[in-house]
Amino acid sequence: MICSGVTFVLLLIAGGDWLYTPPEPYVPLSAQDPASVSMIAVGDQGSGDLQQWRVGRAMERVAANEGRLNMVVFLGDNFYGKPLASTHDLNWQTRFERVYWGHWLSHVPFYAVLGNHDYPASQQYEIEYGQQHKGSGRWQMPANFYVKDFGDVDGRPLVRMVFLDTSAPRESLQQQIDMIDQAFQAPGPGPVWRIAASHHPVRNQGQHGEESDLVARLLPALQRNNVDLLLSGHDHNQQLLLRAGEPAWVISGAGGQRLYALNTPAPDSAFAASRAGFAKLDLNARQLRLAYYNDRGDLETDYRWARDCPWMAKGCLLPGASQGSIAQSSQ
């Protein structure tokens, strides 16, 4: 069961030694099928408050119920409040290592991007924590922005992801756009699915709105490289926006910080909820399932995308049948 606020406080008081004890190095789960990939995407989680812990327990519960998880993607604002002081800062324990645990979460890597609250100081230690394999070794952040392949289908990457840093000074944006072009135009077998992750969304119907620079410069790069989805946070809610000829805009910024109200849904809004929770994606060569969950682990909505659909997200990403994980439904 998810602990109450009182139990949470007592746990922290009684668990002082536990919090200061370095976590054991993580051991990846064995016997995972490379022909499918399952990931949880969540952002704006790094509050250290009860809400972050509740979402963490819900993530473990959903992974256990569905029997599948390969990785977690953090969408930025990984540490709120006072900046990290080092790679040994106690906040590593109270906002990451000890929050996300269990049979599944303790044994998968966490790929992170930087948010505006990770600047101007924490980002240095977040990168070093990943580069130096500190703590459990689950934290993955080799650089401010990077590219990674996941899964394999007959010699092709199942998923190629570009992890962006939209909180960095804008002069680095062109370098990141060049990285996107190189990632998806490189010689060799192309990936089955193309995903980008950033803190700031390109399209957004929430409190923060849209950033004109990202619309003008990042959107064309995503379009010309046929990127299927952009995972982002920044607005503290859950959204799915679909526009013709554009990637699916998946906003999952409800991981632990105070929630934001949503504007009146526009025609492009397929889903919107001002509730704590996270998104989960399950992919294989035939289809993608995108699902949103709340902080109890209850399914809010899900969508399916057949890979042979000839259009982009709008027209292809359609309401699903809520039939478990893609790994189960493909058997």
pLDDT at residue 24 is higher than 70:
yes
pLDDT value of position 68: 96
Nearest residue to 90 (alpha-carbon basis) of 48, 35, 36, 124: 48
Is residue 102 domain-resident?
yes
Is residue 6 domain-resident?
no
The stretch 113-123 carries a mean pLDDT of 98
Nearest residue to 166 (alpha-carbon basis) of 211, 222, 104, 228: 211
Global pTM? 0.92
Is residue 286 domain-resident?
yes
Cross-strand pairs, 278: 293
Which CATH number fits the domain that encloses residue 124?
3.60.21.10
pLDDT value of position 126: 98
Is residue 186 domain-resident?
no
Is residue 243 domain-resident?
yes
Q: Which structural domain range is residue 110 located in?
A: 34-142+230-329
What would the pLDDT profile of 156-190 be if each residue is shown by its tens digit? 999 999 999 999 998 999 999 999 999 999 999 99
Is residue 204 domain-resident?
no
Number of domains present in the structure of the chain: 1
Looking at every residue in the chain, the average pLDDT score rounds to 92
Cβ contact 72:279 at 8 Å: no
Is residue 163 domain-resident?
no
Is residue 165 domain-resident?
no
